[in-house]
Every structure is written in structure tokens, then in C-alpha cells.
Structure 1
């Protein structure tokens, strides 16, 4: 497979590795981006295990809470100009409010909104606005109390990142702090039990290979039993602490975990949602001038 400059650039941005290291990683893994990330981490050349993939889609995430239910809805547009448009913002806000009564994204698309389905309303908006629009994702949480937060807010309840936190107990203000924490740290799961087993095994494989290579190159190699019983479990424990919400140091007070902070506030976190605009979507890059020209052409 031909390794392009764009691929090397993408890998560099997602890992912090040097250009030649990124190119070698892609060559060694036949262009497989995720495998290349793991290869770099095994060699100790990647500074972070960020998800490979460029995020380029525009749009907004809307959040709404009613009673003990919260919903987050992502609507994508082709350009950021549209995301700043009042008509588009009202559309996202209406879809989000309708989502409070919908079970999932398909139910939302079929839901009635002023005599037309949400899907038909979106189609009409595409014709009016002149850009392709996509109702991409919807997620919800339920609890005794639900708190919401939007980061990079474009308007009330609309932003580039939308977060919902479900709690057992009465929210005394901790909910918004927890939601802001989630926006900042982007945890993979609520707890270790909720973490995807494949993610855990992938990390274990990386840490095992990394530890073995480090040991092989050490002037004073450690017995394999020490690596398997001490070093790898220790690194996995650190990983789980970093990616599971309840185990993360609370950003408002890093001396305690999120779980401890919630407990001290008299609540228990039972679930969360974090949607970021364009997450995992790859779109052809255009320069600013081309984007303006595209909008003016209609």
C-alpha cells in the first residue's frame, strides 16, 4: 500500500510522533492507522493513544433535559457558516426537543414535528439552506436527576460538544461540574465493568509488547514473572484510571476521584453521554477560500 503524506500527517497529529517514525509505523503496518498507533506506542514513540481519524464535519450538538431524561442530538452541516446560522440552530433545537420523546435515532427521524416527520423537515431544510445536512446521532440518559452542559456554545443548549450526566439522588450543583469534567477528559466508559473488553485487550497487548521490548533492551533485564505479575498489571491499572469516569481524578479537585466527589455531594453517577461534532467523520479538507467560494456559489 502506498503511504501518502496525508496519512503521515494524520498519524503525527493523532500521536505526537515524529514524521519519520510515523512513516515507518505506517509502512510496518501496511497503512493500517490503528495498528500504526499501536506500533508507535509499543516502541514508546507515541505520546497518547488518541483515536486515529480526522474530524472534519461541521454542525452542532443540541442537549435538552426534561424530568429525569436527557437527550443529545448531533446534526451535521457541510460548513461552519451554516452552524452559525439562526435557522440551522433553531432546527437543531427543535430536533433535540422532539428527541425527548423518542427512543432512538430512527424513532426521532419518524417523529412528527408540526405535521411533518423530522426526516422530511430535514429534507426541506436542505433545500432551503442549500447544504447537505445530516441528522447523525442521538443519545440519551435517565436518572433521578440529569445535568447538561455544552462546550463551545453557539447558543443556549447548542455547541460543539454536548454532555449529559445521569445521577441517583438530588443534584445540588455537582451535575454541571461533572458534565464539564466529562467534556474535558472524554472518558471511554463509566467504570471498568462498562469498558469494551476489546479496548482492554488491545491496551494489554500494547503494554505487554512495550514492556517486553523495554526489558530486552535493558542493561539489567527483569525476570519475566516480574513483568507479567507487576509491571503490566500496574500499567493496566493506570490506563483504567485514565479512561473510566468514576476512577478519574476530578478536575475540580484532583486529590479525589469523580466517584468520591459525587459521593461527597450525595449522588451516584449512573451514566453519561458525550457527543462531539464530527467525531469519527472524515471529510475532504478544503481551504478557507474554497469554503467561502462554495457558500457563495450556493
Structure 2
């Protein structure tokens, strides 16, 4: 039988918003598997959909860089949040993003690329590790571009120019006024930072995500006639997709319309049709589990050992 610790219950409660007792029961039923426990709670109607933002974040910086009709996002991780305020680390992250504009999205290709101050990006990371004294890694990178249009960026709570914990790029394709187009793309980028869509549209949502949502809807309504269940699942999935796909989400700058409607209405001001090509949203440490420590207990233990 799995050992259901208080820390595990606390983690599930933070991710699901369910009560402590419900979380304990869910973990007991699922053998201590947090993700399975979230599904169990949702099937019982005791929790909302799990969000990536509920996961424990690693430290470091997300860096964005733009050049012409393309932009890139990179995530450079370190061990503590103090490093994110270090000038040398900030310069490293910013320069890696600039290199990635030419090297592309492949992490290994970026690491092998030439670093402006000499050597390769991998050499620069190794040097920073030796100087700053923390382990660091280039975790991921992604490039976004358009043939004719703009790519705009937004960093939420920026640590420095183009650097922060949440970075977003949005690409709009259009032959219209570039200043108006950039302003719209930045508004959409702010929306993406806040609303955290999982895909541009329904076609981009992974099949396994759809299957998981449908299974939860069917389980929550078990016992009803088959034709009723299918209708419930169909309507439930439509509602779910409106919540998680960018084009169908209500625009945070004007909740009377969807993002797709806002883009369509902006065509008059831009002076040409607009296509929302895509977006990138990097939240620092998305999906990385980081061990939590009790600082007070560590100090007490150290004092006892002294």
C-alpha cells in the first residue's frame, strides 16, 4: 500500500483545489499517483481540470528574441531563483536566444553553435557553471516565423528586457499595416500569458487529451442511457475546447468576443486579412518536478549537527 504523506496530500490539494480529506481518499484509491488522483477527483466532481501552471517550477529564465519576421523562445534553467537576477546569467540567456534565431529550435544544434564571445554555446554554459557555481542547462527552444506579417513578444513580470518567468510569442500573417499588426499581436500575446491555451485551435489539441476529457465526462455521468451519455460528452468537449484553444477563448481585452472575432474585427484597422499563424508560451519550469525542502528544518538539523 502506498505511503500517503502529508506533502503528497498538500501537492494534490494545490493542483486540484479539492479538500484535504478528498485528496487523501483520492491518493489512497490511486496508490499515491497524483495525476491519476486528479482524474479520480474530477470524475467525482471534486476538482477542476489540472493545469500545467500547478506544477512545481524549476528556476532560471525564459528569454525571447526577435529579428524581422521571426522570433525565438528559449528556457535556460539553473538551481536557484537568485541566479535569474545575476547579470552574467541574464547575458547568457539573452545571447543564447540571439544564437537560436539563426540556429533554429534544436537544442543540440544551438549548443553546438558558435557563441559570439568565443567557443560554442555549450562552452559558454560550462563557463557560467564554473563561474556562478550552479548547474545550468539549456532545456528547450522554439522558433516562430511568418512570410509576410509580424511576430510580437510579451514577457510577464520581466526580470530584464526580453527575460522573465513567462514568455510569449505570437505570429500574425498579413500584408496590412505592420504597426497595427504588431499592437494586435502583442495584445494576443498578453492574452496567451494570462489564459494559457494548450493549442491554437481544436485540431491542435492532442488526441490523448480529448480521450481523457471524454472519459472523465462519461464517468461523471455513468448510469445514464448511452445516447444521453454521448450527447453529454459531445457538449462537454465543445465547452472544454472553447476554454483551452486560443481562437475560441474569450479575449481578455474584450470578453464580449473570442480571440478569433477580435482578429477578424482588427482587419479593418490593419487594412488587410489577418491569419493567426501560431503562438509559443514558455512558463519557466513547466512540467519539471522540483524537490521541495523545509528550510527551517534544514537549519535546525544543521544546528544540531554542529
Return the TM-score normalized by structure 2: 0.88
Tell me how far 1:263 sits from its aligned partner. 1.7
Q: Which residue of 1 aligns with 2:120?
A: 117
Q: Separation in 1 of the partners of 2:30 and 2:134?
A: 38
Q: Secondary structure at the match of 2:140?
A: strand
Q: Report whether the alignment pairs 1:198 with 2:208.
A: yes
Tell me how far 1:77 sits from its aligned partner. 1.2
Q: Separation in 2 of the partners of 1:116 and 1:197?
A: 43
Question: Bigger shift: 203-212 or 280-289?
Answer: 280-289
Question: Bigger shift: 191-200 or 260-269?
Answer: 260-269
Q: Gaps spanning 5+ residues in structure 2: where?
A: 268-273, 300-306
Q: Which residue of 1 aligns with 2:20?
A: 19
Tell me how far 1:78 sits from its aligned partner. 1.0
Question: Bigger shift: 261-270 or 142-151?
Answer: 261-270
The structure-2 alpha-carbon separation of the partners of 1:168 and 1:52, relative to structure 1 and needing over 3 Å to count, comes to closer
Q: Separation in 2 of the partners of 1:183 and 1:282?
A: 21
Q: Secondary structure at the match of 1:164?
A: strand
Q: Secondary structure at the match of 1:135?
A: strand
Tell me how far 1:197 sits from its aligned partner. 0.6
Tell me how far 1:51 sits from its aligned partner. 4.0
Question: Bigger shift: 167-176 or 188-197?
Answer: 167-176
Q: Separation in 2 of the partners of 1:14 and 1:53?
A: 5
Q: Separation in 2 of the partners of 1:174 and 1:200?
A: 30
Q: Which residue of 2 aligns with 1:226?
A: 228
Q: Report whether the alignment pairs 1:279 with 2:286.
A: yes
Tell me how far 1:201 sits from its aligned partner. 0.6
Tell me how far 1:288 sits from its aligned partner. 5.7
Question: What is the number of residues matched between the two proteins?
Answer: 282
Structure 1 counterpart of 2:159, from 154, 161, 165 = 154
Q: Gaps spanning 5+ residues in structure 1: where?
A: 217-221, 292-298
Q: Secondary structure at the match of 1:227?
A: helix
The structure-2 alpha-carbon separation of the partners of 1:52 and 1:190, relative to structure 1 and needing over 3 Å to count, comes to closer
Q: Separation in 2 of the partners of 1:82 and 1:211?
A: 49
Tell me how far 1:49 sits from its aligned partner. 2.5
Q: Which residue of 1 aligns with 2:302?
A: none
Q: Which residue of 1 aligns with 2:218?
A: 208
Tell me how far 1:107 sits from its aligned partner. 1.1
Q: Residues 131-177 of structure 1: CA distance to partner in whole angstroms, max 9, x if unpaired?
A: 11111111111112101010110011001101001111144110100
Q: Is the 8 A contact 1:10 1:53 kept in 2?
A: no
Question: Bigger shift: 19-28 or 277-286?
Answer: 277-286
Return the TM-score normalized by structure 1: 0.90
Q: Which residue of 2 aligns with 1:132?
A: 135
Q: Secondary structure at the match of 1:265?
A: helix
Q: Separation in 1 of the partners of 2:205 and 2:12?
A: 25
Q: Is the 8 A contact 1:11 1:33 kept in 2?
A: yes
Q: Is the 8 A contact 2:14 2:54 kept in 1?
A: no
> What is the RMSD computed on CA atoms of the aligned residues?
1.7
Question: Bigger shift: 47-56 or 246-255?
Answer: 47-56
